[in-house]
Amino acid sequence: MAKQYDRIEPPLARFISRQKIFFTATATADSRVNLSPRSTDALRVLDENRVCYLDLTGSGSETSAHLLVDGRMTIMFCAFEGPPMILRLYGRGRSLFHGTPEYAERLAASYDGEAPLGARQIVELTADLVQSSCGYAVPLFDHQGERDVLTRWAEGKGAEGLVEYRAEKNVVSIDGLPTGVPA
């Protein structure tokens, strides 16, 4: 049932574009595994082997810590409506931090230079293996919309407050690893 590809074939890119949520997974040899849900609103397929997503300020920054130490990353999509399928992108990721030239370049090229107030980085994955599987056991769900709680929280903090928050909460992972997030 599973099929492996060396790139994101056009039908798989179309599948990605129809999804409302994806999951990222990272770890180091000695850390906890981090698994996070994300909205596809901020995801972009860059080419046949690369995707990126705009990451907003949150309570931690495990992904950037793991990528800094190890680099391995998996992104998973599940069809919660329509024909069943699971799609995983396996590869190596990197963080492009807010305020760096790489971030500005990717933001301009992939997001028309626009980012919400709470944006802290763009995470980019270069896939070396793309795998689809049946997804027969994935339940059906109806998408009701996006939550605005994180946006309202960021607006309440303001630009300066977000910088202070990231300096306090985002520079070290829960396992004590540096995240690379500028303090």
Round to whole Å and give the CA distance between 154 and 140.
Answer: 32
| H helix count then E strand count, the chain | 4, 8
Report the domain count for the chain.
1
* 180 inside domain: no
Give the torsion through C-alpha atoms of 150, 44, 132, 143, to 10 deg: 40
pTM, two decimals, is: 0.95
Spacing of C-alpha 89 from chain mean position: 12
Spacing of C-alpha 41 from chain mean position: 11
With contact defined as beta carbons under 8 Å apart, do 94 and 22 qualify?
no
* 76 inside domain: yes
CATH number at residue 93: 2.30.110.10
* 178 inside domain: no
Spacing of C-alpha 42 from chain mean position: 8
* 179 inside domain: no
Residue 44, pLDDT score = 98
* 158 inside domain: yes
Residue 1, pLDDT score = 73
Structural domain boundaries, residue 73: 3-136+145-169
Per DSSP, the three-state class of 115 is: coil
Strands (E) located in the chain: 3-5, 21-26, 34-39, 43-45, 50-56, 72-78, 86-97, 119-133
* 34 inside domain: yes
Query: pLDDT, tens digit, for every residue of 116-130?
Result: 999 999 999 999 999
Residue 130, pLDDT score = 98
With contact defined as beta carbons under 8 Å apart, do 55 and 94 qualify?
no
Residue 94, pLDDT score = 98
Per DSSP, the three-state class of 75 is: strand
Residue 50, pLDDT score = 98
Residue position matching structure tokens 């305020």:
99
* 125 inside domain: yes
32, two tokens: 């906890």
Give every residue of the chain whose pLDDT is below 50, as ranges. none
* 65 inside domain: yes
